[in-house]
Chain A
Amino acid sequence: MKVTLEILRYDPATDKAPHWESYEADVDPMDRVLDALHHVKWYTDGTLAFRRSCAHAVCGSDAMVINGENRLACQLLIKDASPEKPIKVEPIRGLAVEKDLIVDMEPFFDSYRSILPYLMHDGPEPDKEIYQSPEDRERFDDTTKCILCACCTTSCPIYWGSGSYVGPAAIVNAHRFIFDSRDDHADERLAILAEKSGVFRCRTAFNCTEACPREIKVTQAIQEVKREILYRSL
Protein backbone atom coordinates (compact mmCIF):
# COMPACT_ATOMS: atom_id res chain seq x y z
CA MET A 1 0.00 0.00 0.00
CA LYS A 2 1.04 3.61 -0.54
CA VAL A 3 1.35 5.80 2.56
CA THR A 4 2.23 9.46 2.89
CA LEU A 5 4.78 10.47 5.49
CA GLU A 6 4.96 14.07 6.62
CA ILE A 7 8.31 14.59 8.29
CA LEU A 8 9.43 17.65 10.23
CA ARG A 9 12.86 18.26 8.74
CA TYR A 10 15.65 20.51 9.92
CA ASP A 11 19.20 20.86 8.66
CA PRO A 12 21.13 23.39 10.78
CA ALA A 13 23.49 24.02 7.83
CA THR A 14 20.75 25.31 5.53
CA ASP A 15 17.48 25.83 7.47
CA LYS A 16 16.55 28.67 9.78
CA ALA A 17 13.61 26.70 11.20
CA PRO A 18 12.16 23.19 10.90
CA HIS A 19 9.76 22.63 7.98
CA TRP A 20 7.42 19.84 6.90
CA GLU A 21 8.27 17.66 3.89
CA SER A 22 5.93 15.11 2.39
CA TYR A 23 7.03 11.68 1.05
CA GLU A 24 5.28 8.65 -0.40
CA ALA A 25 6.37 5.15 0.60
CA ASP A 26 5.30 1.74 -0.65
CA VAL A 27 4.84 -0.46 2.42
CA ASP A 28 2.86 -3.38 3.79
CA PRO A 29 0.25 -2.69 6.51
CA MET A 30 2.21 -5.06 8.77
CA ASP A 31 5.45 -3.10 8.24
CA ARG A 32 6.58 -0.70 10.93
CA VAL A 33 6.80 3.09 10.58
CA LEU A 34 10.57 2.54 10.66
CA ASP A 35 10.26 0.55 7.40
CA ALA A 36 8.49 3.51 5.80
CA LEU A 37 11.28 5.83 6.98
CA HIS A 38 13.85 3.39 5.55
CA HIS A 39 11.92 3.41 2.28
CA VAL A 40 12.14 7.20 2.13
CA LYS A 41 15.83 7.27 3.06
CA TRP A 42 16.91 4.46 0.75
CA TYR A 43 14.80 5.25 -2.34
CA THR A 44 13.68 8.90 -2.19
CA ASP A 45 15.85 11.17 -0.09
CA GLY A 46 19.15 9.93 1.34
CA THR A 47 19.64 13.12 3.35
CA LEU A 48 16.89 12.21 5.81
CA ALA A 49 18.50 11.66 9.22
CA PHE A 50 17.14 9.47 12.01
CA ARG A 51 18.54 7.07 14.60
CA ARG A 52 17.84 3.37 14.75
CA SER A 53 19.90 0.42 15.76
CA CYS A 54 18.31 -2.92 16.68
CA ALA A 55 14.99 -2.05 15.00
CA HIS A 56 13.14 -4.38 17.38
CA ALA A 57 12.13 -2.15 20.30
CA VAL A 58 15.07 -3.22 22.44
CA CYS A 59 17.75 -0.54 21.98
CA GLY A 60 15.38 2.42 22.24
CA SER A 61 17.12 4.64 19.69
CA ASP A 62 14.20 5.45 17.36
CA ALA A 63 11.86 7.31 19.69
CA MET A 64 9.99 10.00 17.77
CA VAL A 65 6.69 11.86 17.81
CA ILE A 66 4.40 9.94 15.47
CA ASN A 67 0.93 11.38 14.87
CA GLY A 68 1.36 13.60 17.90
CA GLU A 69 2.50 10.96 20.41
CA ASN A 70 5.88 9.59 21.46
CA ARG A 71 6.37 6.15 19.91
CA LEU A 72 9.17 3.86 18.79
CA ALA A 73 9.17 3.85 14.98
CA CYS A 74 10.27 0.19 15.05
CA GLN A 75 7.32 -0.83 17.24
CA LEU A 76 4.40 1.00 15.64
CA LEU A 77 2.86 -0.89 12.73
CA ILE A 78 1.71 1.05 9.68
CA LYS A 79 -1.83 -0.34 10.05
CA ASP A 80 -1.99 1.15 13.57
CA ALA A 81 -0.69 4.56 12.48
CA SER A 82 -3.87 5.74 10.67
CA PRO A 83 -2.26 5.12 7.23
CA GLU A 84 -5.32 6.47 5.38
CA LYS A 85 -4.11 9.92 6.48
CA PRO A 86 -0.56 11.30 6.21
CA ILE A 87 1.58 9.90 9.04
CA LYS A 88 3.20 12.84 10.81
CA VAL A 89 6.71 12.21 12.13
CA GLU A 90 8.61 14.71 14.29
CA PRO A 91 11.65 14.64 16.59
CA ILE A 92 11.04 14.11 20.31
CA ARG A 93 10.63 17.31 22.31
CA GLY A 94 12.55 19.08 25.03
CA LEU A 95 15.94 18.15 23.55
CA ALA A 96 17.81 20.17 20.93
CA VAL A 97 17.33 18.93 17.36
CA GLU A 98 20.65 18.19 15.67
CA LYS A 99 19.22 17.20 12.30
CA ASP A 100 15.77 16.05 11.16
CA LEU A 101 14.67 13.39 13.69
CA ILE A 102 17.96 13.29 15.59
CA VAL A 103 18.12 15.12 18.91
CA ASP A 104 20.98 15.71 21.32
CA MET A 105 20.45 12.98 23.94
CA GLU A 106 23.31 14.12 26.21
CA PRO A 107 21.12 16.16 28.64
CA PHE A 108 18.89 13.08 28.94
CA PHE A 109 21.83 10.79 29.74
CA ASP A 110 23.29 13.42 32.13
CA SER A 111 20.04 13.22 34.12
CA TYR A 112 20.21 9.43 34.02
CA ARG A 113 23.79 9.43 35.31
CA SER A 114 22.93 11.94 38.04
CA ILE A 115 20.81 9.41 39.97
CA LEU A 116 23.69 6.88 40.29
CA PRO A 117 22.15 4.12 38.16
CA TYR A 118 24.25 1.20 39.40
CA LEU A 119 24.21 -1.19 42.33
CA MET A 120 26.09 0.07 45.39
CA HIS A 121 26.57 -2.66 47.97
CA ASP A 122 28.43 -1.97 51.22
CA GLY A 123 30.55 -4.48 53.10
CA PRO A 124 33.05 -6.97 51.74
CA GLU A 125 32.76 -7.84 48.08
CA PRO A 126 30.78 -11.10 47.88
CA ASP A 127 32.41 -14.05 46.11
CA LYS A 128 29.08 -15.11 44.59
CA GLU A 129 25.79 -13.45 43.77
CA ILE A 130 23.92 -11.63 46.54
CA TYR A 131 20.82 -13.56 47.58
CA GLN A 132 17.49 -11.91 46.81
CA SER A 133 14.08 -13.44 47.42
CA PRO A 134 11.55 -13.54 44.56
CA GLU A 135 9.38 -11.11 46.58
CA ASP A 136 12.24 -8.62 46.94
CA ARG A 137 13.00 -8.93 43.22
CA GLU A 138 9.35 -8.36 42.40
CA ARG A 139 9.41 -5.02 44.28
CA PHE A 140 11.26 -3.25 41.46
CA ASP A 141 10.54 -5.61 38.55
CA ASP A 142 8.53 -3.07 36.55
CA THR A 143 11.30 -0.48 36.47
CA THR A 144 13.96 -2.96 35.28
CA LYS A 145 12.28 -2.90 31.85
CA CYS A 146 13.45 0.60 30.88
CA ILE A 147 15.37 0.83 27.59
CA LEU A 148 16.29 4.54 27.96
CA CYS A 149 14.48 5.52 24.76
CA ALA A 150 13.41 8.88 26.28
CA CYS A 151 9.77 8.44 25.23
CA CYS A 152 8.64 9.18 28.80
CA THR A 153 10.94 12.08 29.57
CA THR A 154 10.30 13.89 26.28
CA SER A 155 6.52 13.49 26.59
CA CYS A 156 6.52 15.30 29.95
CA PRO A 157 5.12 18.87 29.81
CA ILE A 158 7.26 19.86 32.81
CA TYR A 159 10.38 18.60 31.02
CA TRP A 160 9.50 20.63 27.91
CA GLY A 161 9.30 23.76 30.04
CA SER A 162 12.27 23.16 32.31
CA GLY A 163 15.67 21.89 31.29
CA SER A 164 16.58 21.33 34.92
CA TYR A 165 13.94 18.66 35.72
CA VAL A 166 15.60 15.27 35.97
CA GLY A 167 12.68 13.66 34.08
CA PRO A 168 10.69 10.41 34.36
CA ALA A 169 13.33 8.06 32.89
CA ALA A 170 15.95 9.05 35.48
CA ILE A 171 13.38 8.57 38.28
CA VAL A 172 12.35 5.17 36.90
CA ASN A 173 15.99 4.07 36.92
CA ALA A 174 16.49 5.47 40.42
CA HIS A 175 13.40 3.49 41.52
CA ARG A 176 15.01 0.34 40.12
CA PHE A 177 17.91 0.69 42.62
CA ILE A 178 16.15 2.46 45.52
CA PHE A 179 13.86 -0.55 46.01
CA ASP A 180 16.53 -3.20 45.28
CA SER A 181 17.16 -5.06 48.57
CA ARG A 182 20.81 -5.63 47.56
CA ASP A 183 21.55 -1.91 47.29
CA ASP A 184 22.66 0.10 50.34
CA HIS A 185 22.57 3.66 48.99
CA ALA A 186 18.89 4.45 48.49
CA ASP A 187 19.22 7.48 50.81
CA GLU A 188 21.82 9.01 48.51
CA ARG A 189 19.54 8.71 45.49
CA LEU A 190 16.51 9.92 47.43
CA ALA A 191 18.49 12.99 48.53
CA ILE A 192 19.30 13.74 44.88
CA LEU A 193 15.66 13.32 43.87
CA ALA A 194 14.43 15.47 46.79
CA GLU A 195 16.24 18.46 45.29
CA LYS A 196 14.44 21.17 43.30
CA SER A 197 15.19 19.49 39.99
CA GLY A 198 13.99 16.14 41.32
CA VAL A 199 10.88 14.07 41.70
CA PHE A 200 8.58 16.77 43.11
CA ARG A 201 8.63 18.62 39.79
CA CYS A 202 6.31 15.86 38.55
CA ARG A 203 2.74 17.14 38.18
CA THR A 204 1.20 13.75 37.39
CA ALA A 205 0.16 14.53 33.80
CA PHE A 206 0.59 10.79 33.03
CA ASN A 207 2.07 11.41 29.54
CA CYS A 208 5.08 9.32 30.55
CA THR A 209 2.96 6.29 31.45
CA GLU A 210 1.02 6.61 28.19
CA ALA A 211 4.21 6.96 26.12
CA CYS A 212 6.32 4.12 27.56
CA PRO A 213 6.83 1.47 24.85
CA ARG A 214 7.63 -1.09 27.58
CA GLU A 215 4.40 -0.31 29.43
CA ILE A 216 6.24 0.59 32.60
CA LYS A 217 3.90 2.24 35.12
CA VAL A 218 6.08 5.33 35.13
CA THR A 219 3.83 7.66 37.14
CA GLN A 220 3.29 4.90 39.70
CA ALA A 221 7.07 4.54 40.09
CA ILE A 222 7.51 8.31 40.43
CA GLN A 223 4.80 8.45 43.11
CA GLU A 224 6.44 5.60 45.02
CA VAL A 225 9.72 7.53 45.05
CA LYS A 226 7.92 10.72 46.19
CA ARG A 227 6.26 8.84 49.04
CA GLU A 228 9.53 7.13 50.03
CA ILE A 229 11.17 10.56 50.36
CA LEU A 230 8.21 11.85 52.38
CA TYR A 231 7.86 8.86 54.72
CA ARG A 232 11.60 8.58 55.39
CA SER A 233 11.67 12.24 56.38
CA LEU A 234 8.85 11.85 58.96
Chain B
Amino acid sequence: MLSRGTVYKGKTGMWAFTAHRVTGFLVLMFLLLHVVDVTLAGISEHLYDTVHAVYGNVLLRLFEVGLLGALVFHALNGLRIIAVDFFDAAVRRQKQLAWAVVAVTAVVTVLGGIVIMLPFFTHKPVF
Protein backbone atom coordinates (compact mmCIF):
# COMPACT_ATOMS: atom_id res chain seq x y z
CA MET B 1 0.00 0.00 0.00
CA LEU B 2 1.35 3.44 -0.97
CA SER B 3 1.06 6.15 1.67
CA ARG B 4 -1.57 8.80 0.99
CA GLY B 5 -1.46 11.19 3.89
CA THR B 6 -1.46 14.97 3.95
CA VAL B 7 -0.71 17.14 0.93
CA TYR B 8 3.06 17.38 0.47
CA LYS B 9 4.20 20.82 1.58
CA GLY B 10 6.36 21.62 -1.43
CA LYS B 11 7.80 25.05 -2.03
CA THR B 12 7.75 27.44 -5.00
CA GLY B 13 9.10 24.88 -7.49
CA MET B 14 6.47 22.26 -6.73
CA TRP B 15 3.59 24.72 -6.96
CA ALA B 16 4.97 26.15 -10.21
CA PHE B 17 5.14 22.56 -11.52
CA THR B 18 1.54 21.90 -10.36
CA ALA B 19 0.23 25.16 -11.84
CA HIS B 20 2.06 24.37 -15.10
CA ARG B 21 0.24 21.05 -15.36
CA VAL B 22 -3.17 22.51 -14.44
CA THR B 23 -2.87 25.47 -16.85
CA GLY B 24 -1.58 23.12 -19.57
CA PHE B 25 -4.65 20.93 -19.11
CA LEU B 26 -7.00 23.94 -19.17
CA VAL B 27 -5.43 25.34 -22.34
CA LEU B 28 -5.68 21.90 -23.99
CA MET B 29 -9.37 21.69 -23.04
CA PHE B 30 -9.98 25.14 -24.57
CA LEU B 31 -8.11 24.10 -27.69
CA LEU B 32 -10.46 21.12 -28.10
CA LEU B 33 -13.47 23.41 -27.58
CA HIS B 34 -12.01 25.85 -30.09
CA VAL B 35 -11.53 23.09 -32.68
CA VAL B 36 -15.20 22.18 -32.24
CA ASP B 37 -16.53 25.76 -32.48
CA VAL B 38 -14.42 26.57 -35.56
CA THR B 39 -15.49 23.31 -37.22
CA LEU B 40 -19.09 24.52 -36.98
CA ALA B 41 -18.33 27.02 -39.77
CA GLY B 42 -18.08 24.09 -42.17
CA ILE B 43 -21.44 22.74 -41.08
CA SER B 44 -23.63 25.85 -40.95
CA GLU B 45 -22.86 29.55 -40.95
CA HIS B 46 -25.90 30.20 -38.79
CA LEU B 47 -24.86 27.63 -36.21
CA TYR B 48 -21.33 29.11 -36.14
CA ASP B 49 -22.69 32.65 -35.58
CA THR B 50 -25.10 31.47 -32.87
CA VAL B 51 -22.37 29.65 -30.94
CA HIS B 52 -19.94 32.56 -31.25
CA ALA B 53 -22.56 34.99 -30.02
CA VAL B 54 -22.55 32.96 -26.79
CA TYR B 55 -18.87 33.91 -26.30
CA GLY B 56 -20.10 37.47 -25.76
CA ASN B 57 -21.90 36.69 -22.48
CA VAL B 58 -20.30 37.67 -19.21
CA LEU B 59 -19.52 34.15 -17.99
CA LEU B 60 -17.66 33.20 -21.14
CA ARG B 61 -15.84 36.52 -21.13
CA LEU B 62 -14.66 35.75 -17.59
CA PHE B 63 -13.69 32.30 -18.84
CA GLU B 64 -11.61 34.00 -21.55
CA VAL B 65 -9.85 36.14 -18.93
CA GLY B 66 -9.03 32.91 -17.06
CA LEU B 67 -7.87 31.34 -20.30
CA LEU B 68 -5.58 34.31 -20.94
CA GLY B 69 -4.10 33.94 -17.45
CA ALA B 70 -3.58 30.19 -17.91
CA LEU B 71 -2.01 30.70 -21.32
CA VAL B 72 0.37 33.46 -20.20
CA PHE B 73 1.42 31.53 -17.08
CA HIS B 74 1.99 28.34 -19.05
CA ALA B 75 4.01 30.11 -21.74
CA LEU B 76 6.19 32.11 -19.34
CA ASN B 77 6.74 29.18 -16.98
CA GLY B 78 7.71 27.12 -20.02
CA LEU B 79 10.44 29.69 -20.70
CA ARG B 80 11.47 29.48 -17.02
CA ILE B 81 11.79 25.70 -17.33
CA ILE B 82 13.90 26.05 -20.49
CA ALA B 83 16.12 28.56 -18.65
CA VAL B 84 16.45 26.11 -15.72
CA ASP B 85 17.38 23.37 -18.20
CA PHE B 86 20.21 25.34 -19.77
CA PHE B 87 21.59 27.82 -17.26
CA ASP B 88 23.00 27.20 -13.77
CA ALA B 89 22.07 30.74 -12.75
CA ALA B 90 18.41 29.97 -13.51
CA VAL B 91 18.60 26.87 -11.29
CA ARG B 92 19.93 29.04 -8.45
CA ARG B 93 17.25 31.69 -9.00
CA GLN B 94 14.31 29.47 -9.90
CA LYS B 95 12.19 30.86 -7.06
CA GLN B 96 12.66 34.47 -8.13
CA LEU B 97 11.95 33.43 -11.73
CA ALA B 98 8.74 31.69 -10.63
CA TRP B 99 7.56 34.80 -8.81
CA ALA B 100 8.47 36.92 -11.85
CA VAL B 101 6.29 34.59 -13.96
CA VAL B 102 3.41 35.04 -11.49
CA ALA B 103 3.84 38.83 -11.47
CA VAL B 104 3.94 39.20 -15.27
CA THR B 105 1.00 36.81 -15.59
CA ALA B 106 -1.02 38.90 -13.12
CA VAL B 107 -0.26 42.17 -14.93
CA VAL B 108 -1.01 40.79 -18.41
CA THR B 109 -4.19 39.07 -17.18
CA VAL B 110 -5.51 42.24 -15.52
CA LEU B 111 -4.73 44.42 -18.55
CA GLY B 112 -6.06 41.79 -20.97
CA GLY B 113 -9.04 41.26 -18.69
CA ILE B 114 -9.97 44.93 -19.01
CA VAL B 115 -9.81 44.68 -22.81
CA ILE B 116 -11.92 41.51 -22.76
CA MET B 117 -14.52 42.65 -20.21
CA LEU B 118 -14.99 46.32 -21.16
CA PRO B 119 -17.02 45.72 -24.36
CA PHE B 120 -19.57 43.80 -22.27
CA PHE B 121 -20.34 47.00 -20.36
CA THR B 122 -19.77 49.63 -23.09
CA HIS B 123 -21.14 47.52 -25.97
CA LYS B 124 -18.32 48.63 -28.26
CA PRO B 125 -14.83 47.21 -28.82
CA VAL B 126 -11.88 48.70 -26.91
CA PHE B 127 -9.78 49.09 -30.07
Binding site for B on A (CB under 8 A): 8, 10, 12, 17-18, 65, 67-69, 88, 90-97, 103, 155, 157, 160, 203-207, 209-210, 217, 219-220, 223, 226-227
Contacts and interface: CB of A to CB of B under 8 A. Distances in A.
Interface bin, chain B: 20 to 34
Interface in B7-27: 7-14, 16-18
A205 B3 contact: no
A93 B8 contact: yes
Contacts of B2: 93-97, 160
A103 to B, nearest CB: 7
Contacts of A219: 13, 84, 91, 94
B85 A206 contact: no
Nearest to B95: A206
A69 B1 contact: no
A227 B6 contact: no
Contact of B8 (A18, A155, A204): A155
Nearest to A68: B9
A175 B62 CA distance: 48
A97 B4 CA distance: 10
A226 B85 contact: yes
B1 A207 contact: no
